Amino acid sequence: MKKAFLTLIPALALSTTVLVAQTKPAVTAKKAPVAAAPAKLKILTKKDSLSYAIGFAMASNLKQQNIAVNSATFQRATKDVLTGQPLSLDEATIQNVLMQFQQEMQAKANAEKSKDGEINKMAGQKFLEENKKKEGVVTLPSGLQYKIIKEGTGAKPSATDQVKTHYHGTLIDGKVFDSSVDRGEPVTFGVNQVIKGWTEALQLMPVGSKWKLFIPADLAYGEFGPPSIGPSQALIFDVELISIEPAK
């Protein structure tokens, strides 16, 4: 009997709590006061303007790179340096902190680049596999693909020649990364001074030709594509071979 009574107590307490909760009048939650916006800083002198501009540039750079800092500590460090106050960290420690941070950022960037590279590589391979089935597309043993838009009648350049060309380069999603056509000025360069896909294609093109090139990543920039391209990207070029230039 005692055991049953003891068991009943928590249940009774629970039911009482629920009953009280149900009979209590509803309490309207008070809204937290909205903090007033800080007063706008008064910029009175050229020095004020420069100081604010430098602070803006530094903070914008940190924000753009997603570098989280304690703003109060950041301001204190700036003040200590500018006013000659004792530093809270000695310079050797500061150098170690910055070096470690740089290594962490580099490792993170490398990991992201590697991941992006794998995604780009797979997308490029899929694109080229489908593209080679299209009418008029020729696939060479190297993996380079081309389609003749206009067949020229002139000579074909050798690897050591200089050529004048017009080109329009895009990623496989259509994003333009470089274009002499858009700039309105053709470009002259050595046949063997460009990416492998170009070097191979140019030696097959008679002067006056217009070809569309589909270049695998390993015949383009590979893992080291510039920021406008990215790692392991297959590229598309519309190329017009205007002339073979005399050696200088």
- Look up 195 and say whether it is catalytic: yes
189 is catalytic: no
Instruction: Please state the φ and ψ torsions of residue 69, each to the nearest 5 degrees.
Output: -130, 155
37 lies in some domain = no
Whole-model pTM: value is 0.62
Cα separation, 6 vs 150, in Å, equals 96
Is residue 46 one of the residues assigned to a domain? no
**146 belongs to the catalytic site:** no
Q: Is the pLDDT of residue 173 over 50?
A: yes
**Which one is catalytic: 178, 189, 238, 242?**
178
Q: Residue 40: what pLDDT? A: 87
CATH number at residue 98: 3.10.50.40
- The total of structural domains in the chain comes to 1
Q: Convert the pLDDT of each residue in 105-148 to its tens digit.
A: 888 887 887 788 899 999 999 999 999 999 999 999 999 999 99
Active site residue 94: no
212, containing H or E segment: strand 210-215
Residue 2 has a pLDDT of 36
127 tagged catalytic: no
Note whether residue 11 is domain-resident: no
Question: Tell me, what's the pLDDT at 3?
Answer: 37
Position 161 confidence tier, pLDDT thresholds 50, 70, 90: very high
Per-position b or e across 188-221, b if 16+ CB within 10 A of its CB: eebbeebebbbbbbbebbebebbbbbbbbbbbbb
Q: Alpha-carbon distance 185 to 178, whole Å? A: 12
Tokens 């390993």 -> residue: 218
Task: Report the chain's mean pLDDT, rounded to a whole number.
Answer: 86
Return the pLDDT at 39: 83
47: tokens are 């020095």
- Of 177, 189, 238, 242, the catalytic one is 177
CA separation for the pair 136, 146 (Å, rounded) = 8
pLDDT at residue 23 in the model: 40
52 in catalytic set: no
Question: Is residue 207 situated within a structural domain?
Answer: yes
Catalytic residue among 221, 229, 236, 244, which?
221
Q: Are 217 and 172 in contact (CB under 8 A)?
A: no
pLDDT of residue 1: 37
82 has a pLDDT exceeding 60: yes
Q: Can you tell me the mean pLDDT for 160-185? A: 96
- The answer to whether residue 14 sits within a structural domain is no
Among residues 127, 146, 214, 237, the one annotated as catalytic is: 237
In a domain, 112, yes or no: yes
Q: What is the pLDDT of residue 35?
A: 64
| 172 inside domain | yes
Token readout for 57 is: 């540039």
Does the residue 12 lie in any domain? no
pLDDT in tens, 4-54: 333 333 333 333 333 333 444 444 556 666 666 778 888 889 999 999 999
Q: How far is CA 9 from the centre of its chain?
A: 64
Set 167, 214, 215, 244: catalytic member: 167
Question: Is a pLDDT exceeding 80 seen at residue 247?
Answer: no
- Residue ranges making up the domain that contains 196: 60-248
